[in-house]
Amino acid sequence: MPSSLHAQSLDWLGGHRAELIGWRRELHSHPEVGYAEHRTTDLIVSLLSSFGLDPTRLSFGTGVICDIGTGPDFVALRADIDALPLPGYKTVSYASQNVGVCHACGHDVHTAILLAVAACLARADTLGGSVRLIFQPAEERLPGGAEAVVKEGGLKGVGEIFALHCDPKLDVGQIGLRIGPITASCNQLDIKLTGPGGHTARPQLTVDLVYALGKLITELPGLLSRRIDPRAAVSLVWGAVTAGSAANAIPTTGTLRGTVRMLDDRLWNSLESVITDLVEQIAAPTGVQVEINYDAGVPAVANDGSLVGIQTRAALAAFGPQAVSDTPQSMGGEDFAWYLQAVPGALARLGVRTPGAPVYDLHQSNFDIDEDALAVGVRFTAALLDEYWNGGVKPA
């Protein structure tokens, strides 16, 4: 009787663990931002080809799709491959060699794990079905590379999709699972104010643009909380404000930039009109001219309950009950949500923290992982496919 894919992953890891760590370090030391992941894509294509697989580059030049099996029904596994435009501050041997760019979100980890899973699938004596591997570019850009992959037909023939994401708050060996919304929708809000400018000695003769900015900064989040059901968990936080250059001159222009996040996806497309009305009402008494740009970025990731059931059984089968962890909802955005607009799916969180070590959050320049998490991710994904093929999709 053929051995399980999980058993085969254990066998593969026995001889290739150092190789797996090497892939991750190679990716980590050569990070590339969204749609510029050319070296990363070359490495992925080279490794997949060396396994005897037939990878296909995406039409926009970066990212890879690789089918294993002939279909017609595929289960998809997704890894994101891009890095962040942040400086890397670590002094390790595999620190970023690209100035101003680093893998501060663990996408190098996701990619290395999926490459190892590909190696296990390629050498398996038999498979329970067909798998589509999606190495996706530009997760960190709005609206995200996942939308482009879907438009390109990346989900054609796919029934369900799974993904892993690093979680530095979970210890190595833990898998964080949650039914329903696990990440928030994320939209970007840009507001530009204009006025005639003037002398700070005579604000009554002009439009006090900085005062208007201050009103919007403080009043818009508060008023929004009174217009929206608090159970929707709407959060408006400003990230940038610019205006003027002289202490004694009222500027002619000023800008506010921030993000609007929510867990209730029903509000995702309807909130723009509420925010627009409030901005205009707040700004009207000040006399400034207002220009609003509301960019609907990504919807929320809402995990399918039956697929979370499969993830749970996979974690139990591979590691036992101590590995399964409930995980809180995050207000961060994740473009994996675009896939879930088309097919059911589930995102799990992979513990990457050495027990007792300090927590370095995602998107911090000194973020790193305990590399034992790589093998955990490979084993969990292999067990996930075993459960998906052998157990079937069962009600949560």
Which residues have CB under 8 Å from 91's CB, separation 6+? none
Q: Which residues of 307-323 are buried (b: 16+ CB within 10 A; e: fewer)?
A: bbbbbbbbbbbbbeeeb
Distances (CA, A) of 141 to 59, 80, 381: 18, 12, 26
Highest mean pLDDT among 142-146, 191-195, 328-332: 191-195
Q: Does residue 295 carry a pLDDT above 70?
A: yes
Higher pLDDT pick, 212 / 358: 212
The pTM for the full model equals 0.92
Q: What is residue 270's predicted lDDT score, i.e. its pLDDT?
A: 83
> What are φ and ψ of residue 273, in 5° steps?
-65, -35
Which run of H or E residues covers position 130?
strand 130-136
Domain assignment present for 396: no
Q: Quick check: 134 and 127 in contact, CB under 8 A?
A: no
Domain that holds residue 135: 5-181+300-391
Return the biggest CA–CA distance within the chain: 87
Name the residue with tokens 């990212």: 63
Amino acid letter, 283: A
Question: Of 283, 298, 313, which residue sits at a domain end?
Answer: 298
**In percent, how much of the chain has pLDDT > 70?**
98
Quote the CA–CA distance of 310 and 79 in Å, as a whole number.
19
**Rg of the chain on CA atoms, in Å:** 24
For residue 56, being part of any structural domain is answered with yes
pLDDT for position 360: 80
In a domain, 353, yes or no: yes
Band of residue 104 on the pLDDT scale cut at 50, 70, 90: very high
Mean pLDDT along residues 56-63: 97
Rounded mean pLDDT, 362-375:
96
Place of tokens 């059984």: 313
Q: Specify whether 193 is located in the same domain as 175.
A: no
DSSP calls for 32-63: --TT--HHHHHHHHHHHHHTT---EE-TTSS-
pLDDT (average), residues 196-206:
97
Residues 176 and 304 in one domain: yes
Last residue of a domain, one of 270, 298, 326: 298
Identify the residue whose tokens are 């320049």.
Answer: 365
Q: Is 23 helix (H, G, I), strand (E, B) or coil?
A: helix
